[in-house]
Structures are given as structure tokens and as C-alpha cells.
Amino acid sequence: MTTPEPARRASATFVERHGGDPDGVWFAPGRVNLIGEHTDYNEGFVLPLALAQGVGVAARRRADGVLRVTSRQLEGAEGTVECAVADLAPGAVSGWGAYPAGVAWALREAGHPVTGADLVLDSDVPPGAGLSSSHALECAVAVALLGLSEPDPTTLDRTALARLVRTAENDFVGAPTGIMDQMASLHGVADHALFIDTRSLAVEPVPFDPGANGLALLVLDTRTEHALVDGEYADRRAACAAGAAALGVAALRDVAADDLATLEGRIGDPVVRRRVRHVVTEDARVLSTVERLRAGADLRSIGTLLTASHASMRDDFEITVPQVDLAVHAALAAGAHGARMTGGGFGGCVLALVEAEAIDDVAQAVRAAYAGAGFTAPVPVPARPSAGARRVS
Ligand code: ADP
Ligand code: MG
């Protein structure tokens, strides 16, 4: 496996700044979710894949218990945070430094030895685009800090590590995020998507290699983000909880899509009914996608499931915005086999499954549609299903 560029750059900058080599260099990828949106907090199914893009961390132990982290993406003093590992507590570090500090804190709280260390990190995941730059950073720091203290990485349970990273993000950073992103970053397998049952946290890599089938996964960052996204997220969670209560199930995951038509009448509120319909049908679409991938079916056949997922997010869950709807529409009109918004919604990225030879035409069609509508041009992000977090040197 070749060394990812961010790991190479982190390592070179480490040598410049600190003199001498790091003790090791680690890398953890960002992710994109192929299908399964807003199913995670309903204990349902998701199908993300780890990207080739991610965060590289060069690290060296320090004897004084101080953790010092420098990001190559930030200038000057802003780019370095410093804290004593022993003093870490929620609220002790704010800003971007809360991500690495939160990971050190969660590891320490769980009883792992956490040494003081100098860390230099570099990333090629665009932040805030919905490709989980924050989890790539956290997972890279997690494997680096563990690697510095626990020389035998085979003792690491990656799902347990994903839970620790969730604790860091929920309780230290203060972001109410789920478990999918860390699971994808830590468990990623090249040329596979990861079928994750968010109730049991069972992970099954399923073959997904567009390139080997004359296809490509086009991801477009629409460069839009809704200002009220936190409130919208809380609102969808509340609607799902209300729907589960009305149906008398622990979570919407327990509702079979085939039973939906007969059960729906028990939900009085038509908005909640639509929210439930999205989650239940989305779980079914994930399962159908997984069946096709497991069976080695023509990948083009999952296109209709991707597009149906988008329609469900647009009409039933109401989490799309004009920019993402237009990107999906333009990609399909230009010949994509399927297209959908990916991520939490209200902006972020759109993915499209396209013939490899048509990728530029489809991207150009979306750009032209955006220009016509007066939207900021979208940015293409190469997307290849890639390996998960690892030590690279
Ligand atoms: P996403 O994870 O979807 O990219 P978030 O808002 O969850 O978006 O995370 C973005 C935040 O993560 C940034 O505002 C910053 O605090 C932190 N972050 C991401 N990448 C870096 C980096 N290379 N250096 C420093 N902080 C980063
Ligand atoms: Mg994030």
C-alpha cells in the first residue's frame, strides 16, 4: 500500500519542526456513505466506505506528559494546541484542538496509557463537506496515541475504539454524532463498502469496486450548508422517536418495510408518518443494496436504489436543499445510473454512480446546471473505496 500524501507531509513537517524523526506515522481516512441516511440513530443499517483521503499524523513520545498537536491546515499560533494529558477534562480545550484532546481524554478515561507526545497532522479531507474530516482526524490521533503506548496493535478492537472516539466527540467536543463515521474510518477495506448494523455494531465488508466494473463513484461537494442544521437534526430525531413510540417498537429498525402500509395508520401526525416512511424504506434499500453487492450483481443495478433514497430524503424526510436536488437531477439527466445526497443533509455532498468514461461529462453537466441557477460551482472529490486507519511507518 502506498503512503498517503497527508502522512508523507505530516512526517516531513514533523522533521522540520521538531528535528529528528517521529516514532511513527499513522493515517485514518474520511468516509462517504453509499446509502443509509438517518438510519443510524434508529438502530438501523448503513453502508459507508472509507475514502483514500484522510488525515496523516506523525507522532513522537514526550517525557513531560504534554500533548502538543500541530495542524498543517492552520496558520501560526492557531495551528498548535498544547495541553497536559493529566489535566484533560471536557471544557479544557476548545476549537479544533478539542478533537485530538478529546481522543486523548477518552482513551485515558477508558484506562489506556496515554503518553505525552508531539503530533503533526495533515489532511486532504475538505472540512465541513460531510466527508467526516473530524472523524478522520480523531481516528488518526486515536491510532497514533495507542500506537505510541501499546506496541502490539493486534490487541486493538476497532469497534471498541470507534466507541471511544464517539465518546470523545459527544462528551468532549460536544457534537451529538453517531458511530458510523468512526466505524468506517477504522474498519475500511479497499474496494469494499462496509455494511454496519448500528444496533449490534456488526461490520461486514461487501465488495464494491466501481473501477473494476468500468464505473466510477462521482462525489461532488455542493459547498452549501444550512445554518439551522443542528435544529433540523434534533427535529428529525424527535420525529423518529415519536414514530417508534406510536408503533410500540424500541427503534424504527424494528419495523419491516412490508408492514409499513398497515402500520402507518397508527401514526396520527402526517409529518411523523413521512419521517417514519423514510427511515423504514431506507433500511430496506440498504439491505437490497447489500444483497446485490454480496451476490456480485451488476453494480449498475444499485443505481435505482440510490436515486430512490434521494427521493425519500427529499419528499419524506425533507432534508435536501435546491442545490443538492439540482445536482442529482443534472447527474441523472447526464446519464448517471443513480444519484443521491449523502450525509446528514441541508447541503454537503452528492454522489453519483457513473460510467468511468462519462465522469467528466456528468461533472460538467452539474457545473453547467449550477451556473444556470446562479449556484456556487460544486467541487468534485475523487472517491475510491479504501483501507481504514493504519500505521504507515
Ligand atoms: P466534517 O467532519 O463533516 O468535515 P465537522 O464540522 O464535523 O465537518 O468537522 C470540521 C471541523 O473539524 C473543523 O471545523 C475543525 O475544527 C476540525 N478539523 C477538520 N480537519 C482539520 C484539520 N486538518 N486541522 C484542524 N482541524 C480540523
Ligand atoms: Mg464531523
DSSP 287-327: HHHHHHHHTT--GGGGHHHHHHHHHHHHHTS----HHHHHH
Q: Which helix (H) or strand (E) holds 165?
A: helix 158-167
Work out whether strand 66-71 and strand 116-123 pair parallel, antiparallel, or are unpaired: parallel
Instruction: Verify whether ligand 1 is closer than 6 Å to residue 178 (CB atom).
Output: no
Alpha helices in 168-269 (DSSP H): 180-187, 229-247, 260-263
Instruction: Please choose, from the candidates 54, 145, 134, 109, the residue with its C-alpha nearest in 3D space to the C-alpha of residue 381.
Output: 54
Here the ipTM equals 0.99
Kindly report each contact of residues 88-93 with a partner whose C-beta sits within 8 Å and lies 24 or more positions away, as own/partner. Answer: 90/171, 90/172, 90/174, 93/172
Closest-CA residue, ligand 1 atom 15, reads 96
From 96, 123, 230, 233, give the residue whose CB has the most ligand 1 atoms within 8 Å, as the site to mutate: 96
Whole-angstrom distance, CA of residue 265 vs CA of residue 282: 19
pLDDT tens, residue by residue, 14-49: 999 999 999 999 999 999 999 999 999 999 999 999
Q: Residue 21 contacts by C-beta under 8 Å, 6 or more apart in sequence?
A: 11, 14, 15, 60
Q: Is 115 helix (H, G, I), strand (E, B) or coil?
A: coil
Q: Which helix (H) or strand (E) holds 192?
A: strand 192-197
pLDDT tens, residue by residue, 143-178: 999 999 876 655 679 999 999 999 999 999 998 888
Largest CA distance in the chain: 68
pLDDT tens, residue by residue, 322-375: 999 999 999 999 999 999 999 999 999 999 999 999 999 999 999 999 999 999
From 103, 134, 341, 381, give the residue whose CB has the most ligand 1 atoms within 8 Å, as the site to mutate: 134
Ligand 1 centroid from CA 243, angstroms:
33
Whole-angstrom distance, CA of residue 227 vs CA of residue 223: 13
Closest-CA residue, ligand 1 atom 7, reads 134
Instruction: Choose the catalytic residue: 40, 181, 221, 283.
Output: 181
pLDDT score, position 39: 98
Cell triple for residue 167? Answer: 465518546
Closest-CA residue, ligand 1 atom 16, reads 96
Catalytic residue flag (residue 181): yes
Instruction: Verify whether ligand 1 is closer than 6 Å to residue 185 (CB atom).
Output: no
DSSP 127-157: TTSSS-HHHHHHHHHHHHHHHHH-S-GGG--
pLDDT tens, residue by residue, 64-119: 999 999 999 999 999 999 999 999 999 999 999 999 999 999 999 999 999 999 99
Which is higher by pLDDT, 129 or 297?
297
From 120, 137, 177, give the residue whose CB has the most ligand 1 atoms within 8 Å, as the site to mutate: 137
Ligand 2 centroid from CA 320, angstroms:
18
Instruction: Please choose, from the candidates 364, 360, 363, the residue with its C-alpha nearest in 3D space to the C-alpha of residue 350.
Output: 363
Name the burial class of residue 374, with classes exposed (0-12), middle (13-18) and buried (19+) by CB atoms within 10 angstroms of its CB.
Answer: exposed
Whole-angstrom distance, CA of residue 328 vs CA of residue 344: 16
pLDDT tens, residue by residue, 362-386: 999 999 999 999 999 999 999 999 9
Instruction: Verify whether ligand 1 is closer than 6 Å to residue 137 (CB atom).
Output: yes
Instruction: Verify whether ligand 1 is closer than 6 Å to residue 309 (CB atom).
Output: no
Side by side, the strands of the sheet bearing 338-342 are 338-342, 347-355, 215-225, 379-383
Instruction: Please choose, from the candidates 136, 241, 134, the residue with its C-alpha nearest in 3D space to the C-alpha of residue 184.
Output: 136
Count of other CB atoms within 10 angstroms of residue 327: 33
Ligand 2 centroid from CA 256, angstroms:
30
Instruction: Verify whether ligand 1 is closer than 6 Å to residue 177 (CB atom).
Output: no
Q: Residue 160 contacts by C-beta under 8 Å, 6 or more apart in sequence?
A: none
